[in-house]
Structure 1
Amino acid sequence: MKTNIGTLIYTGILLSSSSYIFAQNNDNLSEHIATVINAKSIERIAPKYPMSAARSGQEGWAKVSFVIDKEGNVVDPIIQDSSGLSSFEKEALRAVKKWKYSPAMQDGEAIEQCQMLVQMDFVLEQQKGVTRKFKARYIDITDAIANKDLAQAATMLAELGDSQLWNHSESTYFYLADAVYAKAIDDQERELKSVNRALSGSKEKLSSDSYLYLIQRQFILNLSSQQYLNALESIERLEATDDNENLLTKLQPYAEQVSQLVKGSEPLLMEATIHEGGQFYHKLSRDTFALAVNQGSLDEVQVRCANKRSRFTAVNGNQWHIPKAWGQCTIFVTGMPETKFDVFETGAYVGEI
């Protein structure tokens, strides 16, 4: 579903014949005040550098989402995104499983802490920037896109992507080029993925104009794909960026509309797809959600909140209510590749607790 950045469409949704998996609590949760002490790191072992990547001069990064249990152990780590090299993903998972924390505490009792996300960067000391060979190939690709020779650009991008012989800077520029190509062919899903990866890479190697361009596209694409909280995070990133005055003035009115939307009472709809990795994740802005499968099948939905974690069978049409005391939540949904479904959000705005 494409959304004009100048128009936020409020969609009314009727959710019927739904059951509550989380028991409704008649107590007024909004009046409950809890003192939460976050988990503190005791030991964080650095990941090993993959030997094959080191020999090839490859650099990259991996983002890992994980849970800290009541004993302070890391459980259920998940690769949320990476620069694209599986060896970095494997080493990041191996390392984080060995980490140790003092557990989070709520009113004197140990609790799980579930909204944990860390990016591990794999960088070789001798690497300085893009190589001449990469720069030449990058210019050829961007020239082909500018000249609307998209078939040639696609071929060169595929060849460069298959090689995966990038350092940190080259990885950033590869995804920048891929994002520009994806915009040229109107593939918004691919563009957003590449924009996110370019922004997760080597920021200091990008020009100011390129960095601001990526933030602008990230905001617009998050809005278009109904990822409203992510769109607001793009604005926060922009606010922390130098030379942001013109772009911030341009986007701020739309950001205010997005903020009003997520904090309002109108239901929210997001169209989602399970891709090859078999997983989809989404940060919730409301305390009630439901999943409606349009094509394929779903297996499980895992709800990871600031102070609680639960796993359920992903029942089509079922509705889940999240107690406010659980805090900000992200859902991780698994299923058959290419399964298409809708995420409906209703109820009260959660916000940051």
Structure 2
Amino acid sequence: MQLRRLGSSGLRTSALGLGTMTWGRDTDALEAADSLRAFVEAGGTLLDTAASYGDGAAEEVIGGLLRDVVARDEVVLCTKAGARRGPDGVRVDAGRGALLDTLDASLRRLGTDHVDLWLVQAPDSGTTMAETVSALDVAVRTGRTRYAGLANHPGWSTAHAATLAAAAGVPLAAAQVEYSLLERGIERELVPAAHELGLGVMAWSPLGRGVLTGKYRRSVPADSRAASPHLRGFVEPYLTDDARSVVEALVTAADGLGRAPLEVALAWVRDAPGVGCAVVGARTTAQLRGSLAADDLELPEQIRAVLDEITAPELGYPERR
């Protein structure tokens, strides 16, 4: 698998990353171990998690696997902080104390003294960006993380944070955002901002929350995320007529290439301008192997152009005049 540099940083990751949102909940430790072995054997390095995944359960599973299955130095370990579960549900908190406390708890669960990449998981309107960036600065300078970045932030706040971080001498390395043929909003401002600021784009949910696999063309499978009580709301936004049109076009393209729809969808994201890594959240090893099969696929320019055209985001003022 190809290794890529994230933006202008010195951090190199595999072009495909392994997401762990379901680990410790829908994916047990044995299945996670099989997936991690398959991923590393295929040349994958980036293992992506968050303190909020299963309220820490995903990190606990990873901690066990890094002791018993794969050596710590075989993976590029990325985790996120800034979303905390309380009595009233998940609350965004990107204050310095909350972020650093969460990072320390993550390191304990992961069984390591540092992560390779640490991201602020979501924007916090109640905390100044200067304070949030100060936490990233502390984490890097104390060795708890090698690199820092943001997740799910719009272009303007990403630019703000990157400017503050650069002034502090700790440039941001990455911006992790949702990106797929069903969600191309980052092309308006985030991708150009990341390019100018030297941030690598990490695309999460490149398969459109599973919809671009084609599994929902006729119905909702009983074992799918859309049938899961806690993940149904995650998938439903893409179970629309517009999304179905995209899926049908994708299936047609895949049939013409003799490949699976998910391989085409993944290759499109992986090789899109500015993308350093596409993170797939496979629930099972079989699903992961389907994504790994896309490693050798380079989309013909004609196919890419057609998919670009039918899924292009609307641009207007001020992005385009």
TM-score normalised by structure 1 residue count: 0.27
- In our comparison, the structure showing a higher alpha carbon Rg is 1
Please identify which structure carries the higher strand content: 1
Structure 1 or 2: more helix by fraction: 2
